[in-house]
Amino acid sequence: MKTEQPHYDFDYVVIGSGFGGSVSALRLAEKGYRVLVLEKGQWKTPKDFAKNIWDLKRWMWLPAMRFFGIFKLTYFRHVAVLSGVGVGGGSLVYANTLPVPKKKFYTAKSWAHLADWEKELADFYPLALRMLGATPNPVLQTGDLALKKLGENLGLADKFQPTNVAVYFGKANETVEDPYFDGKGPERTGCNFCGGCMVGCRYNAKNTLDKNYLHLAQQLGVKIQAESEVVNVVPLDEGEGESGYRIDWQQSTRLFKKKGSVTSRGVIFSGGVLGTVKLLLKLKDKSLPFLSDRVGANIRTNSESLISITTLKRDKVLSKGVAIGSILHTDEDSHLEPVRYNAGSGFWRLMGLPMVRGRTTIKRVGSMFYDFARHPVKNIKVYFTDDWAKRTQIMLFMQTIDSTLRFTKGIFGMKSKMEDGDPPTSFIPEAFELADKYSEIIEGKPYVLATEAAMGIPTTAHILGGAVMGKNRGEGVIDSQNRVFGYRNMYVCDGSMISANPGVNPSLTITAISERAMSKIPEKNPKAVATFNSEEAPVL
């Protein structure tokens, strides 16, 4: 007797539309699967983005205050996390920068025993670069030239280079037919170097995911449902998901939330660390009890330090350019990048305090009062400068040094605790020394976020891990092909899968590993559709 196959609303439901979710949606659709993407944030068009970050309602994601922007700031005991929300996920707010990690990433002991990762990802990094439209930044601006000068002063002139960025340069402000996918993509407009990449590109130049992976996925029938937060994933057979899943969601932007459910054969978790890990911790105690006990473990940052340096010279303009236009490799484990916001984006000045050193709060507060007393004019000039973003360069220092946190369920979502190694710190001596030297070049004054200076809590835009790879469920949450231990047709493809410290901006790596994971899934119908591959996405 023939067994009747169950009917599903979709073959796969993708939870989140960031780098991993967008890759998953397109590649599954190419293989003939019916795909639904559920995204907590809103659809945004260029006219929806804030002109600068003072427009908090358009820029920040704070639903309790009815702010439905693209930028989210989340505080934990050990780290503050910057992340993105909306259709396109982190691509809406990230700094466009797409570096390939160094060898140490592939050979890290946390995952090197699972595969030869340099070999495994060799084909997928170039593919990801082409799909995201990466190209070298063609114009070095004032802040980039200052970094180049710093490199020369340090004897590291050969370690300075323009960044590879996901931006369409073309001719400034000129709109052209799709330059990437043989006419299958949307129109693009040449970058005008306004510096507003992280506020939301209002000029159609930034290669956000809604302009490549998601755009192409929609052409293949993928449905993208915004403002829909997943609250439960339930196996239809109450077992390991052999019969598929029910995915429950609720509207994320309404006071009286509309709710709904869909069924699918498989599920891809792609909500980023803050979305995926939080949801998996909840589901492990509820509907997915076979999840590994390692959910929430091995949380990493890129060992970052963020230091803003405000020039005291009114003739220097530091806001022009792409968000990150250059990079200086200061040693084998570290590098420095100048980060910028567009003119008028001075909100961060309200959260800044002088850069001070010290392991205890009392010592740091004392050092701050001393700094105010010693440099009263400089500090007044920083706080009352005519345009903070125009006069400020944020220095992003990153290292491949490894230490890990663990996220667990808390009263208000998740909480952090130390797991292995030294706690994340914003007080990195090398970063402070480089900031002092950069300050001399642009005649500026270094500041850090108040949470770092007063409380010692570092800030990261690159939170990773929490659903890492392992050889079994005792070691990780997913296997080396991104399949969730304990369940069928369930995957994790986002920053929470990253199992070692890349030491560089991780978006490209998330894209490449997700491409590899989707390449392992067999086609539903080999003749269903053509694919958008590396040959159809040339580097410009």
3 state SS for 156-220: CHHHEEECEEEECCCCECCEECCCCCCCCCCCEEECCCECCCCCCCCCCCECCHHHCHHHHHHHC
The set of residues, in sequence order, having a beta carbon less than 8 Å from that of 72 and lying 6+ positions away, is 60, 61, 81, 82, 83, 84, 85, 274
- Give the length of the chain: 540
pLDDT at 1: 37
458 CA to centre of own chain: 17
Helix (H, G, I), strand (E, B) or coil at 404: strand
- CB within 8 Å of 42: residues ≥ 6 apart: 48, 68, 86, 87, 226, 227, 253
Count Cα neighbours of 298 within 13 Å in the Cβ-side half-sphere.
25
Predicted pLDDT of residue 271: 97
Q: Which pLDDT score, from 0 to 100, does residue 511 have?
A: 98
Q: What is the pLDDT of residue 288?
A: 97
Nearest to 199 by CA among 17, 22, 339: 339
Q: Which of 215, 329, 335, 462 is catalytic?
A: 462
**What sign does the CA torsion over 461, 458, 60, 56 have?**
negative
Best CA proximity match to 41, nearest among 4, 77, 93, 2: 93
Q: Is 335 a catalytic residue?
A: no
Helix (H, G, I), strand (E, B) or coil at 41: coil
Is 377 buried (19+), middle (13-18) or exposed (0-12) by CB count in 10 A? Answer: exposed
Angle ∠(60,418,365) on CA atoms, nearest 5: 65
> Mind listing the pLDDT tens digit of every residue in the chain (540 residues)?
344 557 899 999 999 999 999 999 999 999 999 999 999 999 999 999 999 999 999 999 999 999 999 999 999 999 999 999 999 999 999 999 999 999 999 999 999 999 999 999 999 999 999 999 999 999 999 999 999 999 999 999 999 999 999 999 999 999 999 999 999 999 999 999 999 999 999 999 999 999 999 999 999 999 999 999 999 999 999 889 999 999 999 999 988 889 999 999 999 999 999 999 999 999 999 999 999 999 999 999 888 889 999 999 989 999 999 999 999 999 988 999 999 999 999 999 999 999 988 777 888 889 888 999 999 999 999 999 999 999 999 999 998 767 889 999 988 889 999 888 777 777 888 999 999 999 999 999 999 998 888 888 889 999 999 999 999 999 999 999 999 999 999 999 999 999 999 989 999 999 999 999 999 999 996 554 444 443 333 322
User: Cα separation of 162 and 488, whole Å?
Assistant: 44
For residues 368, 370, 375, 378, the Cα torsion angle rounded to the nearest 10 degrees is: 10
Encode 233-267: b = buried (16+ Cβ within 10 Å), e = exposed: bbbbeeeebeebbbbebbbbbeeeeeeeebbbbbb
Count Cβ atoms within 10 A of the Cβ of residue 435 and give its class: 0-12 exposed, 13-18 middle, 19 or more buried.
buried
DSSP strands (E only) in 312-436: 326-331, 334-339, 352-354, 392-399, 404-410, 413-420
pTM (2 d.p.): 0.94
**Would strands 334-339 and 392-399 be described as parallel, antiparallel, or unpaired?**
antiparallel
The dihedral built from the CA positions of residue 495, 498, 504 and 510, taken in this order, carries a sign that is negative
pLDDT, residue 528, reads 44
Residue-range domains of the chain with CATH: 10-43+86-133+207-300+463-535 (3.50.50.60), 305-460 (no CATH)
What is the pLDDT at residue 178?
Answer: 97
User: What's the confidence (pLDDT) of residue 526?
Assistant: 55
Angle at 76 between CA 301 and CA 279, to 5 degrees: 85
Please give the pLDDT value at position 531: 43
Q: What is the pLDDT of residue 360?
A: 78
